[in-house]
Amino acid sequence: MIITVATLAIPALILPVLSAFGVKHKRLPEALTVAALFLAAIQLPFVLLSTAYAEAAGGIWYYPQNLIRFDGISFIFSLTVILVAMMVAISSSTMLEGDSNKPVYYSLLLFTTIGMVLVSSTADLIFLLISWELMTVPSFMLVALKKRDSKANEAAIKFFLAAALSSALILFGISLAYGIAGSTNLYALRDALANLPPGGTPLVLLTAALLLSGFGVKMAIAPFHFWLPDTLSGAYPPVSALLAAGSKKAGFAAALRVTVLLVLAGKFVAVAPTWQLALGIVAAITMTWGNLAALTQKSLPRLLAYSSIAQAGYIMIGLAVQGTAGFFFGLLGLLLHVLFHAVMKGAAFISLRNIGSNVDDAIGLYKKAPLTALGFALALFSLAGLPPLNGFWSKLFLFMGAVQGDMAWLAAVGLINSAISLGYYSYIAKKMFFDDPVTEGPGVQHPDVLAVLVFASLFIIVTGLYPEPLIRLISLVAG
């Protein structure tokens, strides 16, 4: 794990220094970044295996000391965020042509990726908070990169305020958790919860609610979603992709790590139905709010932002069914949707570089830039959950989890929401494919964006037609 972090950290530290010393190679920053991310990605299975090997003898294996436990769930989340970071790194290549901030941009991207990987593999609450900040602080700067643009500044300020609220809530939650357990270690917390007298439950619930609200700001679940549309519409499209597809997922990773503990601790059973119901209601409100708001948007990044709020609602189903009979399908669906949604939403945001920021910019896009239009449409239809695209499978498992966990109403809400969401996705598809372009000539076609879109389209179709290997992998590592 330390090696993985170093693989990412060394280029991140070197890049700004190189530029300070005047090393100017046009493609060096992105090449170095992509290489580092790739190297980190191929280490992940070995890190996971080493954990499994060490834990085969029994006990919990931390490495380094008491801070990190890299388990199957960490593996899926780390893989997802590294994948997103790679998509972002490749697609930003032509965006910062000639910009002196380019090495810094890539350095920040690597730092925030380290933060996301650490958030998803932490075993200690204080370490979680530090990783959380490592993830968040570089992304403020990424959002504010267009520093002369007032919208970008507004986006960054809003993001900063929301993140400050998030950190405060998490810190408050951590202090309560320390009060309960006398330790900030997650597994010590679990043991303490199991030994708790029955009267301690309200405090536990308050702790969980505070932590979850803190993570919820990043996950953009209602009512903590307000910052997301403003922030994502102000930033560069690849940065928005990073936030919507990457750091949102890290929020879910953190939430999953904490709530799993609560479920595992036996004391929780008494209030479990209420807790599950509460999370289910939050999920239902989040997806409905997101979808209804997305229907009225005229700006593409805002529309995609609301759509990603709605998707957060679907993923929440996986958290809500924890501790019920639907746990297996719920967790499988959650992890699968995290991975699939990251690719779909990442591709959708990144393709905005070739499209523009207004819904009307999509008019006649197929005639002007066919590859972009196809890639964007595939991502959108997959977000709606249409087979034969991969979004269908992850949603299917989430809804199966809901029905099995005695929350058929939640599955019904989710399915109705899928139908609503197709309303705005098909509206954009209509504009792209059926309307005639208003401007003459070919559209913008950045080759780096197209490369990412081709990868994402293939991923969406192939895992849509044959999701079995991924499902097996997830059942194996998360089992």
Pick out residues in 433-472 that bind other proteins (CB under 8 A). 433-435, 466-468, 471-472
The residue (of 86 and 400) whose beta carbon lies closer to other proteins is 400
Position 400 contacts other proteins (CB under 8 A)? yes
In 273-331, beta strands by DSSP E = none
Position 391 contacts other proteins (CB under 8 A)? no
Position 287 contacts other proteins (CB under 8 A)? no
Position 15 contacts other proteins (CB under 8 A)? no
Residue with the two structure tokens 């901030």: 101
The binder of other proteins chosen from 287, 422, 456, 474 (CB under 8 A)? 422
The residue (of 309 and 411) whose beta carbon lies closer to other proteins is 411
Residue with the two structure tokens 């034969």: 388
Residue with the two structure tokens 């209601």: 281
Position 390 contacts other proteins (CB under 8 A)? no
Q: How far apart are CA 269 and CA 79, in angstroms?
A: 32
CB of 370 to other proteins, least distance (A): 10
Q: How far apart are CA 135 and CA 110, in angstroms?
A: 10
The residue (of 360 and 468) whose beta carbon lies closer to other proteins is 468
The binder of other proteins chosen from 5, 54, 416, 454 (CB under 8 A)? 416
**Residue 146: its H or E element:** none
Torsion of CA 91, 96, 102, 106, to 10 degrees: -20
CB of 471 to other proteins, least distance (A): 6
Q: How many CB atoms lie within 10 A of CB 422?
A: 18
Position 178 contacts other proteins (CB under 8 A)? no
Residue with the two structure tokens 């069914």: 321
Position 427 contacts other proteins (CB under 8 A)? yes
Q: How far apart are CA 395 and CA 125, in angstroms?
A: 31
The residue (of 179 and 387) whose beta carbon lies closer to other proteins is 387
Position 327 contacts other proteins (CB under 8 A)? no
The binder of other proteins chosen from 156, 393, 460, 477 (CB under 8 A)? 393
Position 285 contacts other proteins (CB under 8 A)? no
Name every residue whose Cβ is closer than 8 Å to that of residue 355 and which is 6 or more positions away in sequence.
300, 361, 362, 365, 369, 372, 376, 443, 444
Q: How far apart are CA 315 and CA 335, in angstroms?
A: 9
Burial zone of 269 (CB within 10 Å; 0-12 exposed, 13-18 middle, 19+ buried): exposed
Binding site for other proteins (CB under 8 A): 381, 384, 386-388, 392-393, 396, 399-400, 403-404, 408, 411-412, 415-416, 418-419, 422-423, 426-427, 429-430, 433-435, 466-468, 471-472
